[in-house]
Structure 1
């Protein structure tokens, strides 16, 4: 039996999130979403111009927090930037782990869509902050592995309570990040 037309965009968004998580963004059609909700594809298109608009709205809160983190990091350097980037990204990843799980395996392709193009630049600045704004390969490798690993870990452990996941990830970042050298010149002591 066919359900009544959805009363809110929320039903469509919830169905899209479930389907994107189960079959991926590419593997989900607007018709699949309409069928899941129990409405017509035209109803979905009444609320959202296309599938990208659905994804954009689903990801909007996470992107807003990512932008705020990017702004916070803009004025920081060295160890302060590294610590703020690590804590900020862990907080974002834990809070939005369900959204991260939706994009699992499809993130590089989604960055090619106009609505998400700016995320690549933010990600590069986040990587730079995690590396302590240094070009040292070891620092940049550690930062890159942490970004990818934290995202993957949050997507994998969606059901782990936040009060367990966050401290574990923060402890990992402390162990993995290469310490940033003190920017102040050291003075040689005469002996």
Structure 2
């Protein structure tokens, strides 16, 4: 008996997101995704060229949001850059916590994928904004720790409601960057 072809991309994307969150991107095969959907690997390939195409589509909204954040932060300097970067990055991280969770442990390797190439540059500019555009070593180290910590917290506290997680992350990030709580 032939397996049904999934009706939409959405079924495959949802199954892929579940599998990636359990076994990681590298640890998930197209066959795993097909099994989760209840179809053949060929049916998955009918909708997507490969596993990387699935990940690219899953991540597209988060990447677009990071691009928009980068554009908002570009003209800001000093404390204005830092303050906006903290609140806007936390909002983005909470909104896309599932995607962050998917990538958290595999991000360095995934940044090698062509679709994710712009993330590295935008992340560097985000770190610069979180540093208040300062060149001081302590001001440059703290933002890296904050970004890693926000990603880890989003992964660890994924079930916490947005209205609890977001303010807590803003408070902690602000303290970690050496500024009073807003």
Common fold by TM > 0.5: yes
Q: Aligned residue for 2:36?
A: 36
Could you say if the C-alpha distance between residues 2 and 86 of structure 1 is closer, same or farther in structure 2, counting changes exceeding 3 Å? farther
Are 1:24 and 2:24 matched, yes or no?
Answer: yes
Aligned mates of 2:38, 2:102 — CA distance in 1: 22
Q: Considering only CA atoms, is the larger Rg found in Structure 1 or Structure 2? A: 1
**TM-score with structure 1 length normalisation?**
0.91
Q: Give CA-to-partner distance per residue, 1:66-124, whole Å, 9 cap, x none.
A: 00000001111111111111111100111111111111210000001111011000000
Question: Residues 115-154 of structure 1 correspond to what in structure 2 (within 5 A)?
Answer: 115-154=115-154
Aligned mates of 2:67, 2:101 — CA distance in 1: 20
Q: Aligned residue for 1:174?
A: 174
Aligned mates of 1:50, 1:138 — CA distance in 2: 42
Q: Aligned residue for 2:71?
A: 71
**TM-score with structure 2 length normalisation?**
0.95
Q: Aligned residue for 1:96?
A: 96
Are 1:12 and 2:9 matched, yes or no?
Answer: no
CA contact under 8 A between 1:93 and 1:151: conserved in structure 2?
yes
State the Cα distance separating 1:2 from its structure 2 match: 6.9
Aligned mates of 1:2, 1:174 — CA distance in 2: 56
Q: Please tell me the root mean square deviation across aligned C-alpha atoms, in Å.
A: 1.2
Aligned mates of 2:99, 2:143 — CA distance in 1: 22
Aligned mates of 2:33, 2:23 — CA distance in 1: 11
CA contact under 8 A between 2:3 and 2:40: conserved in structure 1?
no
State the Cα distance separating 1:60 from its structure 2 match: 0.7
Segments ≥4 residues shifted beyond 4 Å: none
Aligned mates of 2:50, 2:4 — CA distance in 1: 22
Aligned mates of 2:173, 2:39 — CA distance in 1: 46
